[in-house]
Amino acid sequence: MFLILGLGNPGVRYRWTRHNLGFLVIDAFALSEGIRWRKDKRLCALIGEKEEIVICKPLTYVNQSGKALTEVREIYRIEEEDMLVICDDLSLPLGRIRIRRKGGDGGHNGLRSIIASLKSERFARMRIGIKNSTVDSLPSSAIPEFVLSKFERDERKVVKETIKRAVEAIKVVIEQGIEEAMNRFNG
């Protein structure tokens, strides 16, 4: 089994926020593959399955994503090497995709939670840039408000195109491997 985990916050209130880019991508992937979401009573997550693929949207908040991941891994017996985590990245320009085989949390609390739960950084991740021209001038105290803000109207076209590219990248990871996806999509 291969697990694809999209990070985001549950609820309509957060739907088009920057921090929910992982949810937006995994929803688009599910739609493209005809995968239906279902709530598994054993998990704090929405799950979808197709052949050897499991997709997951934690129903915890981003900062507790590791809890949901631990439950999903136990039930589906998924190894770290058979996972792809999709999340937003404040350090990357809006629309840039960066795929890595492993690595640190890069200041992302959802990745930090996952690393703490796994006790390992050895899982693939797709980070998608949300940084715009205002970020560098923001005080650190304003960052949480920024990541929880909705995309500006003029950013939405870039976001929609990025979601399409991210879905393509997921398919390449599944069909051709992480190296090929890194070569084709890392910007």
**Which is catalytic among the residues 6, 8, 19, 169?**
19
Query: Can you spell out the DSSP letters for 20-86?
Result: GHHHHHHHHHHHHHTPPPEE-TTSSEEEEEETTEEEEEESS-GGGHHHHHHHHHHHHT--GGGEEEE
Extract the tokens encoding 184. 């084709």
Active site residue 108: no
**Chain Cα centroid distance, residue 57:** 9
Q: 94: how many CB neighbours lie within 10 A of its CB? A: 19
173 burial level (CB within 10 Å; 0-12, 13-18, 19+): buried
Q: What residue type is 58 in one-letter code?
A: P
Round to whole Å and give the CA distance between 10 and 69: 15
Nearest CA to 72 among 107, 114, 34? 114
- Active-site residues: which are they? 19
